[in-house]
């Protein structure tokens, strides 16, 4: 029992620390990209304590529930959303010494559990009893259901090459440095189709985690705040936390599938469990950084463009890519 709790607490700690850093980081990055400084005052050096101050403020806020809201669902939705992304961390191998659960269906479980996220967004949107919220919820559901298809197809491409659904096994087989003599044995360097797969995967996870250019569910200029319009205080903070946790989860999944997970880029040099954790988080956070970078660089797509990109471009491309990868595996 105690062992289970400790196992469960490790990813939770990582998510909470990461969320504090990432929210501050996002504001700083936004500031630098727009040629301003971002938060500077709280805590001294570059306002590092800003997120902690924000958290303390959010805890003190009144928890407002609209009179006509469906109370139980309204209260429940933020927690379900966080639970769904937190549960998925169970199969992420953080280092060669730690993985929450060594189940054989690893990545399949991850995709299944994150599909609950969609439902919690609809739940929040509907329960708020607000037009903007409902529209945001519906948009989000349509978007996430659509973009699940290319995500699954690209993950399937990797699984095809790796031959395992267990993310630990997928990482272990990417150890070593002999691709073309010097490159690490990461899957992205293994064959040209996996590079295409990674690009499709990255676009899809941008859409799945509601990041710009696909942040239609919460587009503030049209929908006020999308499904989270009516939320305040800690319940709103739970949404924020879930969103950042989801970003980290999908980035870490990308790092595991394409960039060797906890393997060091220098072969055995700087290897071992502790360095493994360092490399893994570094790769994941780099992808998170790219997501933030894109957010403050690109404008938002329209709904029809969003659906066009998914159904007319990404899905056919990902399936063609899957077949070509299979051919490559047969030939070489």
Q: How near is the Cβ of 9 to other proteins at its closest, in Å?
A: 17
DSSP secondary-structure letter at 181?
Answer: T
Token pair of 68, please? Answer: 């006509």
> Phi, psi at residue 310, to the nearest 5°?
-70, -60
Residue 56: CB atoms within 10 A of its CB come to 10
- Is the Cβ of residue 94 or residue 126 nearer to other proteins in the bound state? 126
Three-state DSSP class for 100? coil
Catalog residues that contact other proteins under the rule CB under 8 A. Answer: 1, 70, 73, 103-105, 108-109, 111-113, 115-116, 118-119, 122-123, 126, 129, 131, 134, 138, 141, 145, 148, 165
Least separation in angstroms between residue 51's CB and other proteins is 32
d(CA 27, CA 225): 18
CB of 244 to other proteins, least distance (A): 22
**Nearest approach, Cβ of residue 122 and other proteins (Å):** 6
Residue closer to other proteins, measured from CB, 153 or 288: 153
Cα–Cα distance between 271 and 184 in angstroms, integer? 13
**Closest distance of CB 273 from other proteins, Å:** 23
Contact 100, 8 (CB under 8 A): yes
Q: Shortest approach of other proteins to residue 131 CB, angstroms? A: 8
Q: Which two tokens stand for residue 97?
A: 């010494």
Nearer to other proteins, 113 or 207 (CB): 113
The smaller minimum CB distance to other proteins, of residues 164 and 232, is found at 164
Nearer to other proteins (CB atom), residue 42 or residue 307: 307
Q: Which residues 6+ apart lie within 8 Å of 83 measured at CB? A: 116
* Closest to other proteins by CB, 128 or 174: 128
Question: CB-wise, 117 or 292, nearer to other proteins?
Answer: 117
Closer CB to other proteins, 98 or 108, in the complex = 108
Strands (E) across 101-174 are located at none
Tokens 């007319």 belong to residue = 312
Tokens standing for 57?
A: 């403020």
Give the closest residue to 125 by CA, choosing from 111, 112, 144: 144
Give the H/E segment covering residue 200: helix 192-208
Side-chain-facing half-sphere of 138: CA atoms under 13 Å: 9
Residue 7 CB, shortest distance to other proteins, in Å, is 14
How far apart CA 129 and CA 71 sit, in angstroms, is: 10
The whole-angstrom separation of Cα 53 and Cα 247 is 22
**Least spacing, CB of residue 5 vs other proteins, in Å:** 12
């Amino acid at each position: 029992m105690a062992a289970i709790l400790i196992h469960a607490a490790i990813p939770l700690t990582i998510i909470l620390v990461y969320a504090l850093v990432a929210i501050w980081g996002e504001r700083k990055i936004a500031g630098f990209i727009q040629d301003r400084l971002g938060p500077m005052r709280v805590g001294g050096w570059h306002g590092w304590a800003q997120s902690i101050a924000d958290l303390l403020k959010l805890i003190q806020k009144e928890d407002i529930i609209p009179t006509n809201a469906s109370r139980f669902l309204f209260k429940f939705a933020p927690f379900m959303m966080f639970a769904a992304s937190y549960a998925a961390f169970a199969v992420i191998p953080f280092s060669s010494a730690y993985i929450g659960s060594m189940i054989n269906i690893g990545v399949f479980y991850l995709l299944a559990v994150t599909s609950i996220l969609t439902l919690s967004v609809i739940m929040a949107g509907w329960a708020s009893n607000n037009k903007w919220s409902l529209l945001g919820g519906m948009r989000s559901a349509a978007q996430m259901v659509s973009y699940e298809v290319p995500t699954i197809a690209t993950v399937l491409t990797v699984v095809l090459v790796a031959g395992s659904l267990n993310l630990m096994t997928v990482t272990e087989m990417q150890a070593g440095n002999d691709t073309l003599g010097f490159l690490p044995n990461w899957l992205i360097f293994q064959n040209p189709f996996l590079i295409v797969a990674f690009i499709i995967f990255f676009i899809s996870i941008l859409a799945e985690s509601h990041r710009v250019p696909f942040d239609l569910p919460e587009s503030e200029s049209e929908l006020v705040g999308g499904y989270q319009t009516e939320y305040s205080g800690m319940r709103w903070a739970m949404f924020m936390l879930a969103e950042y946790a989801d970003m980290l989860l999908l980035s870490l999944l990308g790092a595991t599938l394409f960039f060797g997970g906890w393997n060091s880029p220098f072969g055995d040099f700087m290897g071992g469990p502790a360095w493994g954790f360092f490399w893994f988080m570094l790769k994941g956070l780099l992808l998170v950084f790219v997501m933030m970078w894109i957010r403050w660089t690109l404008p938002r797509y329209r709904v029809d463009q969003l659906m066009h990109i998914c159904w007319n471009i990404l899905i056919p491309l990902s399936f063609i890519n899957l077949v070509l990868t299979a051919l490559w595996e047969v030939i070489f």
